[in-house]
Copies of this chain bind each other. A is one copy, B any other.
């Protein structure tokens, strides 16, 4: 007869919820050798449907973990957006096609669509290489934070107590486990148990727009079925998102379909996927979609546009992803915001757990990501209003014109692509000295640029030299410090000695545990000697770069110009790829000041 057992355990980070946000955090922490566990109450992972759009910045972030390859291999790419509007003869016609992504510096200038299960599988496979898997099914029963101020301020303490129930398989009994954690991450979705249990309020309201979603493999004569297509007809609106293989997702406006009651509610029992398809057909005319034998997935939603009042309790319990912000899926932001929440949090937890940074560093998580979530909802409101609005016609001059819609589509391109995410001034973001590198915007991610390795003239993407390995990166733009310019080389040697002293002091001699250093010289591949730089600037031969075009004449070059670096500068890049501060080559002292604001003093 099954009986209940109790065991106790401790862990550095416990993650509750194994969706994209939770898995992203788990993978990032496991990669950094943090002692981490992740649990989920679902016995198996999601196989189809749900969120599935990966924005350009998210692809860059995944690449920084070495994960973009599989994403690009499996996913569909959306390069083009098509806009259909009412034609003069009834039905719809093609008004315009424009690039789907409006973000000139995007390394991957397209959105990737892939079902959520496949994206989760990418994280799961990566995590397993670090020896981590999801514990499931396991249900959190209670969560308690210590009330001892000293304990809460002790980075080595385990002030969070979580009781879990592991559901038994077949004849096995349920098991209760008491987990003592240094930190807990609530990644348990829009109905977050962590958030509710800790009494964190959601601010905002439900939207008035109701949409249906259908995933299918269509037979159609519609010429833009493989492009993202926004259809505004006099018979409703519809959006097409092509997906992996030959699959397509349709978003169908339901507001006036007759299925929505006066109070804005919809009875899911009264409508099914084939009825949704029937509604979509009306807006497709004169194009047709045949009725498929099977519908892969469908749903109806009316999601609120809401943000949690707080993203953490005492910097010991954090909420990430849908647990702290919900919005409409049409802007394709949900999973991206979730993944980037965890990307922002994981390296900060790593620094605290390694004893490098003070707990105060963790305050920047809410500061940076809550502001982003609010901006997202402001954008979403405008976008949803325009998208759901009736098209402008002769008869209906108050309607939404194609120009209105296109304008917001492109104006917010930097935002929707994730490329323009800009973290405001904080202890991590020192906004002075921007003039030294005018296009390496402090608070934004480092744009892609190809440089050559000095030793072998191989073109390398700078983003690939900024992996998410929890280290800060110093980009040392030395000017033309080649043997042609002995004075500049001498200056570089001198200031490197000073930089070395600063870094030795900050790290108690273990410089390369906290930092990686790349040098970028303004010289040519035919003249450079990779080994005439001070060793600190070429700790390995592959770390010495030059700003030149490659031997095939097609890649690289003009990096100083594109980054807006005049002659020289040192740029500090945060472990998540965002520019933290900039200083003059001959002023490394400021680097020490920047880091001392959040690194722990060395004993």
Contact = CB atoms under 8 A, between A and B. Distances in A.
Contact of A551 (B99, B453, B459): B99
Interface pairs A-B: 6 shortest CB-CB: A99-B551, A226-B456, A226-B455, A80-B457, A109-B552, A223-B529
Given A456-B242, A525-B97, A551 B226 contact: no
A101 B98 CA distance: 38
Contact of A226 (B77, B98, B223, B541): B541
Overall SS of chain A's interface: loop
Given A79-B550, A227-B456, 18 more contacts: A77-B456, A77-B458, A78-B456, A79-B458, A79-B459, A80-B456, A80-B525, A80-B551, A99-B551, A99-B552, A100-B551, A106-B552, A109-B551, A223-B529, A223-B531, A223-B532, A226-B541, A246-B541
A530 B223 contact: yes
Contact of A79 (B80, B225, B456, B531): B456
A109 B98 CA distance: 33
Nearest to A109: B552
A226 B99 contact: no
A74 B228 CA distance: 37
Interface of A: 69, 76-80, 97-101, 106, 109-110, 221, 223, 225-227, 242, 246, 453, 455-459, 525-526, 529-532, 541, 550-552
A458 to B, nearest CB: 5
Given A109-B551, A525-B97, A79 B223 contact: no
Nearest to A555: B109
Contacts of A526: 97
B79 A551 contact: yes
A531 B221 contact: yes
A422 to B, nearest CB: 22
Contacts of A456: 76-80, 226-227, 242
Contacts of A106: 552
A108 B552 CA distance: 9
Contacts of A109: 551-552
A469 B131 CA distance: 38
A223 B457 CA distance: 12
Residue among A227, A532, A551 having the largest count of chain B Cβ atoms under 10 Å? A551
29 contacts: A69-B69, A76-B456, A77-B456, A78-B456, A79-B456, A79-B457, A79-B458, A79-B459, A79-B550, A79-B551, A98-B551, A99-B551, A99-B552, A100-B551, A101-B551, A106-B552, A109-B551, A109-B552, A110-B458, A223-B530, A223-B531, A223-B532, A225-B455, A226-B455, A226-B456, A226-B541, A227-B455, A242-B456, A246-B541
Contacts of A97: 457, 525-526
A526 B79 CA distance: 12
A59 B97 CA distance: 37
A538 B40 CA distance: 45
A453 to B, nearest CB: 8
A458 B225 CA distance: 14
A552 B106 CA distance: 9
Contacts of A530: 223, 226
A407 to B, nearest CB: 18
A110 B459 CA distance: 11
Nearest to A97: B526
Nearest to A550: B79
A446 B365 CA distance: 52
Nearest to A225: B455
Contacts of A221: 531
Contacts of A226: 453, 455-456, 530, 541
A455 B552 CA distance: 31
Nearest to A79: B457
A100 to B, nearest CB: 7
Nearest to A540: B246
A97 B77 CA distance: 40
Contacts of A69: 69
A303 B529 CA distance: 35
Nearest to A81: B551
Contacts of A100: 551
Contacts of A98: 551
A145 to B, nearest CB: 45
A459 B529 CA distance: 38
Nearest to A551: B99
Contacts of A77: 456, 458
Contacts of A532: 223
Contacts of A242: 456
B227 A457 contact: yes
